[in-house]
Structure 1
Amino acid sequence: MSKLNRRHVLVHGLAAAALMGSGAAFAQDDYPSKPVRLISPWPVGGSADVTTRLVGDRLAALLGQPFVVDARGGAAGTIGFGVVARSSPDGYTLLLGTNSTYGIAPHLLPPTPYKISDFAPVALVAANPQIICIHPSVPAKDLPSFIAHVRAHPGRYSYGSGGKGGTSHMASVLLATTAGLNMLDVPYRGTGPSLQALLAGEVQMVALDVAVAKPLIEAGKVRALAVSSSRRSPAMPDLPTISELGYPGFDSATVYALFAPAGTPANIVAKLNRAINEMLRQPDLRERFIALGLDGMGGTPEEMARYINAESDKWRDVIARTGIKIE
């Protein structure tokens, strides 16, 4: 059995273990009996931190104990993941992570302080897709005409991002690779500088989070070409996906997922999974998510495990083909 297949079996096994014994999960109603620490592997105040605190508040309301957010930002999110990997598997330390750390970072950074087998998947929570935005000076009104124009002028145009390895950067890399675009990759130190570069016309394309892009699009400061995720954004339902516009299967978004340490009892994982899915059915949370540019997901631990495998495989292949490195 190959190393990759062994990893797939291991992660699927974790998901199956999380589902086994789910009947006992709701018969034993003593979890949680004390506050739960919810690790956010990102700096305080950013969109990921805001999302983590929103999810923590909803879980607290459903499960009757505080979910205390503990921000452990740094090293592209790997510090927070490492904290949870080393925590006791008792359900009282959890993590809301994104695929930039569980799907991309292991293939870009030096050895990370965790392996995917160090975690029990609980549930996918929400996707934050990117909007492919261009400067209004570019003579293209939609994605097909933009691709045709860039192909006709190889090397003339550039795309910016908030830094190598982030989901905005990787969405642009994936589009350029998939569509065969010869564009200059210009990473900045953060989303703010990359946005300012786009507005100034210093770069011609940036993949922006929905909440950032929408007011700029409405003000005519940037032009929207497509949504990067596999389905349309509820916040911008009239904007087509890249997949719809000739690139089937294209999918790139920041995806929040809830993790517990490996070995967490199956009944606890099942109860947390049920709470996440119940939370996502709340109409007011859906409205709040849309305002943040998020699209609720949910599902089973096994579905989350499959997603993690697919993300890891996809970005490993993209990174290998493009030779992206973080220096």
Structure 2
Amino acid sequence: MSIQQHAKHITRRPLLAALAGMALAGAMPLAHAQPAAFPSKPITMVVPYPAGGANDMLGRLIGQKMGDALGTATVVDNKPGAGALLGAGIVARAPADGYTLLVGGLATHAASPNLLKADYDPLKDFEPIGMIGSAPIIVITATDSPYKTLKDVVDAARKDPQAIMYGSSGNGSPLHLAGELFLSIAKVNMTHIPYKGGNAHIIDLIGGRVPVIFDTATNSMPLLRGGKVRALAVGSAKRLPDLPDVPTLAELGYPQFEFSAWYALFAPAKTPADVSAKLSAALAKTLKLPEVASKLGELGVSVGNGNANELRSFLPAEYQRVGNLIKTAKIKAD
């Protein structure tokens, strides 16, 4: 090899090494830019109700089991306020990455947006993940109430509508809507007494100051098991297994009564399709667990199937139906 050829060989090797190094360095940012597989961090489940209630227990149960299915931790964040609009609005504005979910339902996606000024569109600002379940309405009275049947209540209301009152957790609440629906079907009047959330309406029912409440099963089942109240009727299609002696409203002559509180999981709109699919699959898997079905049953909830498409199809009609009820009954916000 000549001196000139040797020199060229020496100078070419560092040059090629340098070029290779530059190419490798240029490829590294591309590798780092690839998103991590979902989920790669904890998921926050926003519950738009205070801690300790049925909605909170439901959210914690579903969150824990979904976390197990997805291989990540879940954190429940209680954001009560404004008829559940506060928590729902937080999720609607959250990054659409699947890490912030809403345990919503009748209030967040039908009742409150029709009654109050929501800062989100319930049909456009969320990605449906799936239906968790539904809870029928149970007509309850105090254990020592003079009203032994629903007919007793209706007959008393026909004689003196001002004397018969029904309580609820507030104007536009599921309890209020259920009460107004029943009155329209039964063609009878009662005086509605709205309470400011909490359990004040239950305390007054037990104390005999309010004769009747059209309650959700999630609220009333623990009271019934504890012997604190008595059930007059259930709004489900069939008698409830835990209340075999309590007739359905259809049995009592009110087959048109179709109303239940429902619970569903939502992500912000524009969440990537693959992320939404993973969340829906995890929810469906969770709802099939025997321990989840058992616990939801204790809360009075009939288990859903977690199907996103079914929830998506259900929402517009439910929003319209509840809106029509609010208008017909002339329900106003507090």
Q: TM-score, normalised by structure 1?
A: 0.83
Correspondences of 1:209-288 after superposition (within 5 Å)? 209-210=216-217, 212-214=219-221, 216-217=223-224, 221-288=228-295
Deviation at 1:63, TM superposition (A): 0.9
Q: What is the CA–CA distance in structure 2 between the aligned matches of 1:46 and 1:300, rounded to whole Å?
A: 25
8 Å CA contact 2:51–2:78 kept in 1: the answer is: yes
Q: What is the CA–CA distance in structure 1 between the aligned matches of 2:225 and 2:56, rounded to whole Å?
A: 26
Instruction: Return the letter of the residue paired with 2:272.
Output: P
Correspondences of 1:101-250 after superposition (within 5 Å)? 101-135=108-142, 140-210=147-217, 212-214=219-221, 216-217=223-224, 221-250=228-257
Q: What is the CA–CA distance in structure 2 between the aligned matches of 1:222 and 1:57, rounded to whole Å?
A: 31
**Are residues 238 and 272 of structure 1, via their aligned partners in 2, closer, same or farther at CA, if it must alter by over 3 Å?**
farther
Greater CA radius of gyration, 1 or 2?
2
Partner of 1:80: 87
Partner of 2:105: 98
Q: What is the CA–CA distance in structure 1 between the aligned matches of 2:232 and 2:166, rounded to whole Å?
A: 14
Deviation at 1:153, TM superposition (A): 3.4
Q: What is the DSSP-based 3-state SS (H/G/I as helix, E as strand, rest coil) of the residue aligned with 2:199? A: helix
Q: What is the DSSP-based 3-state SS (H/G/I as helix, E as strand, rest coil) of the residue aligned with 1:150? A: helix
Query: Does 1:41 pair with 2:69?
Result: no
* Structure 1 segments unaligned to the other structure (5+ residues): 1-28
Q: What is the CA–CA distance in structure 2 between the aligned matches of 1:32 and 1:250, rounded to whole Å?
A: 42
Q: What is the CA–CA distance in structure 2 between the aligned matches of 1:243 and 1:310, rounded to whole Å?
A: 22
8 Å CA contact 1:210–1:235 kept in 2: the answer is: no
8 Å CA contact 1:104–1:165 kept in 2: the answer is: yes
8 Å CA contact 2:85–2:108 kept in 1: the answer is: yes
Q: What is the CA–CA distance in structure 1 between the aligned matches of 2:256 and 2:306, rounded to whole Å?
A: 20
Deviation at 1:225, TM superposition (A): 1.5
Partner of 2:13: none
Deviation at 1:152, TM superposition (A): 3.7
Runs of 4 or more consecutive aligned structure 1 residues displaced over 6 Å after TM superposition = none
- What do the CA deviations read for 1:192-242 (whole angstroms, capped 9, x no partner)? 211121122211111234355346546665331112344544543443332
How many residue pairs end up in the alignment? 300
Instruction: Return the letter of the residue paired with 2:233.
Output: A
Q: Percent identity among equivalent residues?
A: 37
- What do the CA deviations read for 1:256-285 (whole angstroms, capped 9, x no partner)? 100011111222222222222221111111
8 Å CA contact 2:54–2:219 kept in 1: the answer is: no
What is the alpha-carbon root mean square deviation over aligned residues?
Answer: 2.5
